[in-house]
Amino acid sequence: MRRRILLFLMLIYGLGRPAPLVWSQSDEPTIYAVKTAFLFNFAKFIEWPPSSFASPQSPYTICILGQDPFGKLLDDSLQGKAIGDRPTAVRRLKDKAEARGCQMVFVSSSESMHLAEILESLKGANILLVGETSGFAAAGGTIEFTLEDDHVRFTINSDAADRSGLKFSSKLLALATIVHDERR
């Protein structure tokens, strides 16, 4: 248990570099500030194939599909930050077809009724799909945020990770609850 807590703290703080968090006035991170830090740090512990980017200079793009629960928080937190040698960019998507230009797509809970269509449209793409709807990972999403005892945790669907062609660090996998496709 102690090892898991240490690994969790290392992930949040990027192995010594503070994660980009925006704090509320009460100095307590909001749930979405914590999720923002997770999104940024997920990217640091996952390797994308070079073909995932349009060019060597392309930014690492985090997209939000559906209603945006982050507001300016995500933009403000990632401004000026890089993942590897790539600058970060944030985009809001109106349609799932636009997601193919992203490396990470946060699927808002507002899209839960369309999850099967979203997964089908992105089949074979090197995209990390992150969501917060209950059952997101088991349904085929890659990472699902969960809340346990008022703490943000995450579940990784190892089948979806394999399908995406992304290489997950063992450090990231050690922190997650691992699930498989529910159809399996």
pLDDT digits 0-9 by tens, 8-36 = 444 444 433 334 444 444 445 799 999 99
In contact, 129 and 160? CB cutoff 8 Å: yes
Reported residue count of the chain is 184
Residue 87's CB is within 10 A of a number of other CB atoms, namely: 15
Using CA atoms of 6, 11, 13, 16 in order, give the dihedral in degrees to the nearest 10.
80
Is the pLDDT score of 70 beyond 60? yes
Q: What domains lie within the chain, and their CATH numbers?
A: 2-179 (3.40.50.2300)
Residue 23: its pLDDT value, please? 41
Give yes or no for residue 57 having a pLDDT over 50: yes
pTM comes to: 0.84
Dihedral of CA 148/155/28/63: which sign?
negative
What is the reported pLDDT for 29? 74
Residue 182, pLDDT score? 83
Q: Which pLDDT belongs to residue 125? A: 95
